[in-house]
Amino acid sequence: MHLLQIDVSPRGARSHSRALTAEFVAKWMAAHPGANVVYRDLGHNPVPFVDEAWITAAFSNPHDHSPALREAIRLSDELIEEFLAADVIVIGSPMYNFGTPAVLKAYIDQIVRVGRTFSADFRGLVQGKSLYIITVRGGAGYGPGEAQHGLDYESPYLRVIFGFIGVTDITFVDVENSAQGDEVVKASLALALERIANLAASSACPPAASRLINVPLTVAT
């Protein structure tokens, strides 16, 4: 079994989302010894945006690709294979301006690809995966029926886009009030940590030999 851990925040030790994904992975590996964990750091090593060469390669026959087109799509292929190899994916992401950070959107644009993760008739090709998304928001009240519910453009988008490629087992853990005082943040983090411990412990994984794989980003310049 394989877990893919994706961090989105550009912050380091002060990042709440990074701390929470690390906690999820630690609890998951403790509960299911033997899991392989692949780590992708988008916050510190962002993937490039889709460009014209990428589009040309993605919408043409791979057998006809020139060396330049093969290089243009190489990272996308790598990210897709990495995503498809995972049984469990955990993403830690802040909310920026009510939406998804650009680095996560760039990653999604690299892996949502016709013929690879969805078909030409818009059927999802990705099956059998569990996705956990840990979001951190500066404010509060984004839940159903709450004052800011209509301003949450992050969770609905992530649910739709991953569902589009076939990932429908999606669980959100939301941390709110991260911009408030220490005691308020601590209370929100405590609730998230408790939920993460329960989720990680209940996520199924058969035994194998445990190891952590840190995958460096390789992008042609």
Segment 158-205, tens digit of pLDDT: 999 999 999 999 999 988 866 676 777 788 788 888 888 888 877 654
Q: Which two tokens stand for residue 207?
A: 């035994």
**Among the listed residues 11, 2, 3, the one whose alpha carbon sits nearest the alpha carbon of residue 42:** 11
Q: What is the pLDDT of residue 218?
A: 29
* Mean local confidence (pLDDT), 132-136: 94
Predicted pLDDT of residue 217: 31
Domains and CATH numbers, the chain: 2-214 (3.40.50.360)
Q: Quote the crossing angle between the two packed helices 102-111 and 67-85, to the nearest 10°.
A: 100
Q: Could you tell me the pTM of the whole model? A: 0.87
The pLDDT value recorded for residue 13 is 82
- Average pLDDT (97-124) is 96
43 CB-contact burial (10 Å; exposed 0-12 / middle 13-18 / buried 19+) = buried
Q: How many residues does the chain have?
A: 221
CA distance 110 to 78: 10
For residue 174, give the amino acid letter. D
| Residue-averaged pLDDT of the chain | 87
Of 99, 170, 87, 91, the C-alpha closest to 137 is 99
Helices 16-31 + 182-202 axis angle, to 10: 30
Give the number of C-alpha atoms closer than 13 A to the C-alpha of residue 139, restricted to the C-beta side.
14
* pLDDT at residue 171, rounded to an integer: 94
Give the span between the Cα atoms of 11 and 96, in whole angstroms: 13
Q: Select the more confidently predicted residue: 213 or 103.
A: 103
Q: What is the pLDDT of residue 204?
A: 55
- Give pLDDT, residue 100: 95
Pull the structure tokens for residue 62.
């791979």
pLDDT of residue 94: 94
Q: How confident is the model at residue 73 (pLDDT cuts 50, 70, 90)?
A: very high
Can you read off the two tokens belonging to residue 84? 């498809």
pLDDT tens per residue, range 56-70: 999 999 999 999 999
